[in-house]
Amino acid sequence: MASITVYPHTLRQAVLDSREDPKAIASTGKDLAELPQWLDRNEPFPLSFTKISQLGKALHVPFGYLVKSVVTPKNPEPLLQYRTVNNDHAPMSKNLEDLLQVMHGRQDWARDEMMANGLGANALVTSQAHTKDSRVLGQAIRMALHLEDKFILGKNDGARFNYVRRQASEAGLMVMVDSMVSGTRRRLDINEFRAFVLLDDVAPLIFINRNDSHKAMLFSLLHEIGHVLLGNEELFNVGDDKMAVHDSDTERLVNRAAVHALVSDGDFRSHWNEFTAGGGSSVWDTAQTCARRYGLSALALVIHAKELGLANDQDVKEVRRLTQRAIHDDEPRQESGGGNQNFTNAYRLDDRYVGMVHDSVQRGALPFTDGLALLGVRSLKAYDGVVRAKGLEQ
């Protein structure tokens, strides 16, 4: 049976972070019966794939974390103070806690790797720190990502999101996307968060919750890019139906900038007026038509129409009401269980990040076990699959 080297200090940290009783875990079955003895060891030792998997499930820890040679103890998560609605004192779920730990680990590694390769600060971080105008911030996002209308207007929602994500990655922003805690089957809750940004002057990282719609994911991505340019961290958990209700001044600025990044006022006026002329279409139908054109939600666009004097407060209330109904009627988005698992694994990861990990492994600077952990996969076969799916040479 295949085995993988594990490190006692990594196992001890995983048990400590999980708050589980190792003796209780050991009593659950023969695969983990020796857990207390493993924790007492001083030198690395081999464990079977099955035992590591079982331990990960018992501790609610990603497989990749358990095979890391170096771990960083958890610190209190500062990101919680940047939640965007009135739930600052709500406890953080174990899923979000574990996800943040994984993302901090990836960011820390990427930062060190980039600096070792002579790369300095990303010029986008805090580049609009003093901006108070949403149009200025929106245009800054558009210019930073080199966005072109031909890849946005009237396109498929998924393709549109992938395009903006790719442009963000090429601009030096790591964008991770997943529906579950990395390396587990524990699904993330969009009611807890939709996206977050971990600010760093060298390796800023954005995470998007894939349990959302592509329209919502696109808005979240642009929203978080706005925060990178402003230079502040954030955990974004405002859904379409709550937009502009609980927003602070900064959130209103970033929300409007996200729209301006994709929507030109002239094109929008023309398109909106075309459908409302003579009372031919309801405000809901018009907002939905615009949503299909620009890839943003009907509510975000009717709010934009109001700012341009094309809609009123009653129109916004009506679209919000119908949005809430649509959200209630729709089933939560589920990540497909079919298709090619290699492409699914690859989709979760930022392109440039995978390239850095693979290059480091190829140079012998990073052990394969750490490469597996950084990519959130469990085997060399899965690792090779991600590399191929990203179009990287073996």
pLDDT of residue 394: 61
Helix, strand or coil for residue 192?
coil
Q: Tell me the pTM.
A: 0.81
Q: What is the pLDDT of residues 325-354, one digit of tens each?
A: 887 555 445 554 456 899 999 999 999 999
How far apart, in Å, do the first and last CA atoms of the chain sit? 26
> What average pLDDT does this structure show over 265-276?
92
> What is each CA distance from 357 to 37, 49, 263, 370, in whole angstroms?
33, 22, 36, 9
- Predicted confidence at residue 337, as pLDDT, reads 44
CATH 1.10.260 maps onto the chain at 3-66
pLDDT averaged over every residue in the chain? 88
- Per DSSP, 125 falls in state T
Among 18-27, 36-45, 107-116, 188-197, the least confident range:
18-27
CA 33 – CA 388 distance, rounded (Å) = 38
Q: What is the pLDDT of residue 185?
A: 81
Counting residues of the chain whose pLDDT is more than 70, the rounded percentage is 88
Q: What are phi and psi of 178, to 5 degrees?
A: -160, 155
Q: Residue 86: pLDDT band by 50, 70, 90 thresholds?
A: very low
Give residue-wise pLDDT tens across range 113-147: 999 999 999 999 999 999 999 999 999 999 999 99
| Confidence band for 8, pLDDT divided at 50, 70 and 90 | very high
C-alpha triplet 113, 49, 52: angle, nearest 5°: 75
Q: Which CATH number fits domain 3-66: 2.40.160, 1.10.472, 1.10.260, 1.10.357?
A: 1.10.260
**Average pLDDT estimate for 76-94:** 61
